[in-house]
Amino acid sequence: MTYTTRRELMALMTGALAGTALGGSAFAQATPKRGGTLRISAPANPSSLDPATGGAGSDHAFLFTMYDTLTEWDFETLKPKPGLAESWSFSDPTTLVLNIRSGVTFHDGTPLDAEAVKFNLDRNKSDPKSNIKADLASMASVAVTGPMQVTLKLSAPDAALPGILSDRAGMMVSPTALKAASSGNVARTPVGAGAYAFVSWADGEKIVVRRYDKYWKPNRPYLDGIELSIIPELTTGSRSVTAGQNDLMYQLPPRQKAIMDRVPSVKIANGPTLYVFQIFLNWAKPPFDNLRVRQAFNFAIDRETFVKAALAGLAEPAYMNLPKAHWAYDKDVAGLYAYNPDKAKALLAEAGFKDGLSIDLIGYPDQDSVQRQEILIEQFRKAGMNVKFSNAPIAEASAAFFGAEKRGSGLLAAWTGRPDPSLTYSLMFTKDAYYNGGRAPVPPELEAAIRESRASEDIEKRRKAFATVQRLVMENAFVAPLAFQFELVAMNKKVQGYRPNLLGKPKYDDVWLES
């Protein structure tokens, strides 16, 4: 684990830490103890506790406590590793065989076997309410080929699938619970097979989970339970940690770090992440149905200034959806939209808006989000755009923009990253993907390049395909990336074993509390 020293902070400020591996040796400082309840300040109410039907990336902080996945990801590299599937193999390029771990049960006591896995994968792929159909687009069918084995037949080679099964698509829900109630009830009273079982959800206030004593991992979890208090105002959340009301806060605002550094009872964990602030664009409706307007929008953003003003320098300016530390990063694509308000004005004039343009966006109402909005409003004003924000809580804003309502031309939010980059691009930039706000078509060559990025396990072939994917996304300006925020987690010093991860989504696999 990396705790921030003065030297490390300077490394963060210059971006040098972006390539640093987060070591695990620091965790062996003491023998972990069992017991205690970890109290967490969480910034957003979940959209759903059903992994298939939820729509907000912030849901993962809750889902990961209650659901285990078929594969897991390595904290430092995001490479897939065994999870509920103890092994897997491609018997040919379009056949993936998963061997399911024996002895695992759901929180309702029912077995997690091959039949349960098939039920979940079929539901995730075909249920009308599923928001993760695109995750499993390559899966043509799934068959039970043994009591603890399933075989996936693919419509095309998909080397990304093992990584994809470490995310929502691989979270296993009890079929018994799903069959006994509507999915709406499971969304409120989930039954998974994770380290912690659901206890209660006071909407907008608190979610409580308790240790599942029949959990399959030896000696895990250490904690008796976790209480996640919903505190949307991040300053209030950080104060709850300094006051001792909560033990841990994730997504600590960068501007709060200097304050936390002066609190003797608090320590900070940090690390680079894929977590990118960006403006999602609905290119199916005006004004973003015009390519020149989308390009002008990107040229109008001074990302370097945004990072300094909005994120205290603790971020990397984002010119696409992958940071410099990622193996598929492409520096040529990153050079497409250097700050140029004059170029933005010229593009607007070519698009027929020589006298300027008004744009309605959606955002969040917390103090830090509003500050980011104010900085961007001024930058867009200098480029001839009058941008206005309508704010709502995360779950509500996400549903309004991505759901049936299709409100707003854009949404200032964050893309929380995915273990395999092909999933990031397919979830946002294919026609029917949930995070394609307008469900608008994209160039056929983009969808072909996304497929090509998954066609081989050879890393160099994948890197070449991703260069094409990223170029097409940014040349078409389908999104306006802003900054990759570093993970900043503030915690009481009695919290032990917390590890940052490249995905930037908190997991509590090894966390324990000193008495």
User: Inter-axis angle of helices 459-475 and 421-429, to 10 degrees?
Assistant: 30
Say how far apart CA 310 and CA 40 lie, in whole Å: 24
* DSSP run (H or E) holding 397: helix 394-402
What pLDDT shows up at residue 29?
58
**What average pLDDT does this structure show over 154-159?**
93
Q: What is the DSSP string of 40-68?
A: EEESS--S-SSTTT---GGGHHHHHHH--
**What average pLDDT does this structure show over 150-163?**
95
pLDDT at position 3 over 70: no
pLDDT at position 140 over 60: yes
| Residue of 43, 403, 39 whose CA lies nearest to 243 | 39
What pLDDT shows up at residue 185?
86
Instruction: Provide the H-helix boundaries in 16-164.
Output: 60-66, 114-126, 161-164
Top-level class of domain 71-179:
alpha beta
Please return the burial class of 161, using the count of CB atoms within 10 Å of its CB with bins 0-12, 13-18 and 19+: buried
Q: List every span in the chain annotated with CATH 3.10.105.10.
A: 276-485
**297 and 344 in contact (C-beta within 8 Å)?**
yes
User: Regarding predicted confidence, which is higher, 477 or 184?
Assistant: 477
DSSP-based three-state secondary structure for 96 = strand
At 326-376, the pLDDT tens digits run 888 999 999 999 999 999 999 999 999 999 999 999 999 988 899 999 999
Q: Name the average pLDDT for the chain.
A: 91
Q: List every span in the chain annotated with CATH 3.90.76.10.
A: 71-179
Instruction: List the 85-92 sheet strands across, edge first.
Output: 85-92, 95-100, 149-154, 139-146
- Block residue for tokens 């991992």: 217
What pLDDT shows up at residue 221?
97
What pLDDT shows up at residue 483?
97
Backbone angles phi, psi at 461, to 5 degrees: -65, -40
**What average pLDDT does this structure show over 481-485?**
95
CATH topology for 35-49+194-272+487-513 is: D-Maltodextrin-Binding Protein; domain 2 (3.40.190)
- The C-alpha angle 419, 495, 219, rounded to 5 degrees, equals 70
User: Regarding predicted confidence, which is higher, 67 or 58?
Assistant: 67
What pLDDT shows up at residue 9?
35
pLDDT at position 278 over 70: yes
**What average pLDDT does this structure show over 164-183?**
90
What pLDDT shows up at residue 490?
96
pLDDT at position 15 over 90: no
What pLDDT shows up at residue 184?
59
How far is residue 280 CA from its own chain's centroid? Answer: 14
Q: Which band of pLDDT confidence, cut at 50, 70 and 90, is reported for residue 77?
A: confident
- Say whether the peptide bond before residue 221 is cis (omega within 30 degrees of 0): yes
pLDDT at position 7 over 50: no
At 105-135, the pLDDT tens digits run 999 999 999 999 999 999 999 999 999 998 8
What pLDDT shows up at residue 12?
37
* Single-letter residue type at 417: G
- Block residue for tokens 């500050």: 371
Cα dihedral sign for 138, 144, 150, 151? Answer: negative
Q: List every span in the chain annotated with CATH 3.40.190.10.
A: 35-49+194-272+487-513
Strands 85-92 and 80-82: unpaired
pTM for the complete prediction? 0.77
Lowest mean pLDDT among 16-20, 77-81, 382-386, 471-475: 16-20
CATH code that applies to domain 276-485: 3.10.105.10
**What average pLDDT does this structure show over 132-160?**
95
Q: Which band of pLDDT confidence, cut at 50, 70 and 90, is reported for residue 272?
A: confident
Say how far apart CA 317 and CA 336 lie, in whole Å: 13
Gyration radius from the chain CA atoms: 22
User: Inter-axis angle of helices 459-475 and 444-452, to 10 degrees?
Assistant: 160
At 186-245, the pLDDT tens digits run 899 999 999 999 999 999 999 999 999 999 999 999 999 999 999 999 899 999 999 999
Say how far apart CA 272 and CA 314 lie, in whole Å: 10
Say how far apart CA 465 and CA 449 lie, in whole Å: 6
User: Regarding predicted confidence, which is higher, 76 or 231?
Assistant: 231
Residue percentage of the chain with pLDDT more than 70:
94
pLDDT at position 57 over 60: yes
What pLDDT shows up at residue 418?
86
Backbone angles phi, psi at 469, to 5 degrees: -60, -50
Q: Cβ of 308: how many Cβ atoms within 10 Å? A: 16
What pLDDT shows up at residue 1?
39
The residues near 47 (Cβ < 8 Å, ≥ 6 apart) are 54, 55, 56, 59, 394, 395, 398, 399
